[in-house]
Structure 1
Amino acid sequence: MTLLALGINHKTAPVALRERVTFSPETLDKALESLLAQPMVQGGVVLSTCNRTELYLSVEEQDNLQEALIRWLCNYHGLNEEDLRKSLYWHQDNDAVSHLMRVASGLDSLVLGEPQILGQVKKAFADSSRGHLNVSELERMFQKSFSVAKRVRTETDIGASAVSVAFAACTLARQIFESLSSVTVFTGRRRGNH
């Protein structure tokens, strides 16, 4: 049995692609059932946030394993394989465990140390535990990542700096502008294919 972590994140894929690869809470059970229907997949957890979509899997080794999983992900989301392949990363066994620990600890976040990711990882694990986890190795991997994340937060100063993009933006604005009382900030998200 092999442990895998594959996915895309804010470092590897633009927002437009990340939005197309997301799994909504309403479709998560169906997606996990479809994923577990793949003959090589023994168990899985799907982590889907605004900055990343990752599949943590326990799989049986087989020829063309990577190709089969990429094909499933592309078929599920209606994506071109070549578009996704350029942005996808793949970690196996110890590297997959290390990756999850970095993610859960906030070390792989857009804003280093942001605390929300641990809650998102715990929720992904809980959602997948309802009939889709199936494998004790995955459970051990996630439980260990939770304890490592807790240690990182309690034994380091990782949470002492900016803990969100908005907080980081405000801190930077205060460094640039003498006073923020006359500064107007527009934020938003474009819609459509413009």
Structure 2
Amino acid sequence: MTRAVLSLGSNLGDRMATLQGAVDTLLGGPGAPAPVAVSPVYETAPVGGPDQGAFLNAVLVVDTAGTPGELLARAQDAERAFGRVREVRWGPRTLDVDVVSYGDVCDDDPDLTLPHPRAHLRAFVLQPWLDADPLAELPGRGPVADLLAGLVAEDTGGAQELRVREDLGLRLPGGEGR
């Protein structure tokens, strides 16, 4: 089994129902990864792209026996199941699922770059990941806590504001979660 990290985001429609549906879809069916942890849900301002509404973001930590490509296919299947359309880069979306890391794999494959090439620059990935796994490390970059601290120190314009949504929580199979 390999530990992998998936970042989830939604800013169209019923964002919370979409995130929960994504967790259920990602962790259901044959060959599904085993859940390890799910982060709290954060509301975040969009980073890059056109003007658009706020996102709900979370991180799902899993153990998988599948390959990175199989995990990516599962993520893309979940996006399609929730009506993801790729028209505008970094535009609004019903669901965005990114494979952030897959064990210690570092790979520049254009179909799936590991770890995610911008994860170390995104508070909406690092903060939920840190909540789900306080000892997390981003391969080739170091401890997630250090990356987040450096990012927060650099962000004087508030471009990566995020706030935990204590009123929302994702469930893992079996009722576990926040």
TM-score (norm. length: structure 2): 0.43
Higher Cα radius of gyration: 1
Structure with more of its chain in strand, by fraction: 2
The answer to which structure has the higher helix fraction is: 1
Structure with more contact order per residue of length (Cα contacts < 8 Å, sep ≥ 6): 2
